[in-house]
Structure formats: structure tokens, C-alpha cells
A and B are shown apart, each in its own frame.
Chain A
Amino acid sequence: MAEEWRLVDTGLCDAFHNMALDEAIVVARSKNLVPNTLRFFRWQPSAVSIGYFQSMEEEVDTLACDRRGIGYVRRRTGGGAVYHDTDGELTYSLIIDENHALISEDFQKTYETLCSGLVLGLSRLGVPAEFKPINDISVQGRKISGNAQTRGMNVVHQHGTILRKVDPALMFTLLKVPNEKIRDKLIRSVQERVTSIEMLLKKEVSFDDLKGALSSGFEEAFKVKLVEGETLEFEEQLAAKLKAEKYGTRQWNFKR
């Protein structure tokens, strides 16, 4: 019988809670309170997340975000800035015991293995996706998914984004550009380098269909059975604490 993993869909939450809950699940996994977990989530309000090593002030136009009610948060993982549109993208997290057979000591290999579930899932929708090192998934040379991974407490944590719809012009009103003269050029370059499910299939795919396809992709790629579950009280309480003391604080979000 296939190994069982937990599937949790935490729906729409704000940026601080989303990042706090990811870390809370990592802690719960490290204490063996929960099995390996696939989480799906969305962002409401829409928000920008930045990589651990990025500078909030340099990357994000926080005034523009504030004006539009858009959130911003620093992730515990490296990588680049991502705009998480409430309706435009789906985010997933994988929280897996570091000793699991799927996990290699080599980060690059582990990216490829874990992304293979997304690649299979997207192909089930008719999107011919492929893994593109270091941490992207692309279709016909255009990026459709970015992913970021870290480890700690004997747990591997990878999260990433899948674009349903994309609006590069909005993205560049929220992200800082080196100077105004190149804003249009940057927008055009993103239009050339990025794609979305809607652009590729010329139709909208519902979040439920997308989650269904990705879940099947992960099950097939990892040879596991996903069992729908809930977050524990422990996870919710820890998430609230991490939001109050870490992800919701200026000290964390502006630390670099």
C-alpha cells in the first residue's frame, strides 16, 4: 500500500499567516506530530513575498503596496521576489522528513525531484511543462512556476508558485525598478519570459481543477497517497505566535 501523506488546503490567508503556517507545519513535522504534508494556499489580500536574502526596501515599492492594500513579507527561503495575486496564482508547500527516500543531500537534485510532481500535474492539464534548473518550471522556455527550498530541524521545506494568470504591468508597480526609463522594457521582458496556464490553454482553469491535477501529479511522481486532512491546533497556535513574533514584524520583514 502506498505511503500516506497529508493534504491540507488552507484557502485564503494574509501573507504573514501564510508564511507563519508554513514554518509551523515544519515544526510539527519535526516533532513527528504530522506526516509529510502537501499544502495548497492562496493570498488575500494579494501580496509580494521576497527571498530571505533580499532587501525589502530595494525590491518592493511598499508605498504602492500600502496604497493598494497589498501585503509584503520576507520568506524563510532564498530566491527572488514573487507577486502572489489572489486570483492569479496558487501556492503550494511540501514539508517532508529529510530522511525520506525522495530527499537527496544535493539541493539541486531535490528541487528536480520535488518539482517533478508539479511537472506531471501540469502535463495532466495539457501544459507541457519541464523543470528548468535551478528552481523553475517552464513551458516553451517561459517560466510558469518558481520554487524555493530550505531545510532545518531534519525537515525539507519547499514552497512555490504556479501562475494561472499573469499581469506583468501590475507586478512592476509593486516591485521597484532601477529607474523609470526601463519600466516598460522590464514589463515587456517579463511578458516574453513568463507564461501562465490561461495564456497557454486559452481558457481559465479553476483552482479546484488545478489543485486536483497537481495532487495527482505529486501522487504519481512520489508514489504516495494524499489524504485530505486539517491543520492541527498545535500548528494553528504556533502559526499565530510566529505571525505575531516573526513574520508580522517590521524587524523580520525589513531586516535586510
Chain B
Amino acid sequence: MGRAEYKVEGGKLIKVQLSRKGNLIEAIKITGDFFLHPEELIEDLELKLAGHPLDEKALIRLMKTLVEKKKATLLGASPEDFAKCIMMAGGDGG
């Protein structure tokens, strides 16, 4: 199980817990004190990320697409910040 915490400069804290299979995310939980609306999107996102490669650029793309498609609002953390924290959690041996 890999874990990481990332405090966004001038923003909020993201915490990621994930298990990996090779270079793929097997299961992931993203918590923290950021704002995402609609809130239930976090559960969608976690499902979408299961089976997704640990590739920072692809993770940013996936999150940006999801936010655009669902007309979602992120405050205190950006898709880039989430991707960074996911990569950090994926990197510690998970």
C-alpha cells in the first residue's frame, strides 16, 4: 500500500492511499480538506482511476476531462496537484 500527502501551496491538503499492480493503479482512496463539487465525483474518480496507469500526464488529462465533462469545480487543489500526489503514493513501493 502506497501513501502520500501533498500540501498545495496556498491551497489544501491531498492524501492518497493506493495499491498498484505493475504500473497500474489497482485501488485508490483520495482524501483531504480540498473542495470538489459535485462532491460525489470523488467516488467516480476513484473508480475511474482503478486500472489506470501511473503516468502523471495521463492522470492530469483524465482529471481535467472529468472536471470539464461534469462541469465540476475544484478549489484548493488542481488536477496537476492530484496527479502529483498520486504519483508520489505510487512511487513508494506500493
Contacts and interface: CB of A to CB of B under 8 A. Distances in A.
B39 A79 contact: no
A53 interface: yes
A53 B11 contact: no
Contacts of A76: 39
A58 B33 contact: no
A253 to B, nearest CB: 14
A53 B76 contact: no
Interface stretch (B24-32, B51-59, B62-70, B83-91): B24-32
B35 A148 contact: yes
Q: Which has the most chain A C-beta neighbours within 10 Å: B29, B31, B42, B73? A: B31
B31 A80 contact: no
A80 B33 contact: yes
Contacts of A256: 29, 31, 42
Where chain B touches its partner, the secondary structure class is strand
Given A58-B15, A108-B75, A53 B33 contact: yes
B39 A78 contact: yes
Interface residues of A, number: 22
A4 B75 CA distance: 31
Q: Which has the most chain B C-beta neighbours within 10 Å: A78, A80, A149, A150? A: A78
B31 to A, nearest CB: 5
A52 B39 contact: yes
Contacts of A54: 31-33
Contacts of A249: none
Given A58-B15, A107-B73, A134-B76, A151 B37 contact: yes
Given A53-B30, A134-B76, A107 B35 contact: yes
Contacts of A152: 38
A105 to B, nearest CB: 9
A55 interface: yes
B33 A134 contact: no
Contacts of B35: 77-79, 107, 134-135, 148-149
Interface of B: 11-13, 15, 29-39, 42, 73, 75-76
Given A51-B32, A78-B39, A135-B35, 15 more contacts: A51-B33, A53-B34, A54-B32, A55-B29, A76-B39, A77-B35, A78-B33, A78-B35, A78-B75, A80-B33, A107-B35, A134-B35, A135-B75, A149-B35, A150-B37
7 contacts: A53-B42, A54-B33, A78-B34, A78-B39, A80-B12, A107-B37, A135-B35
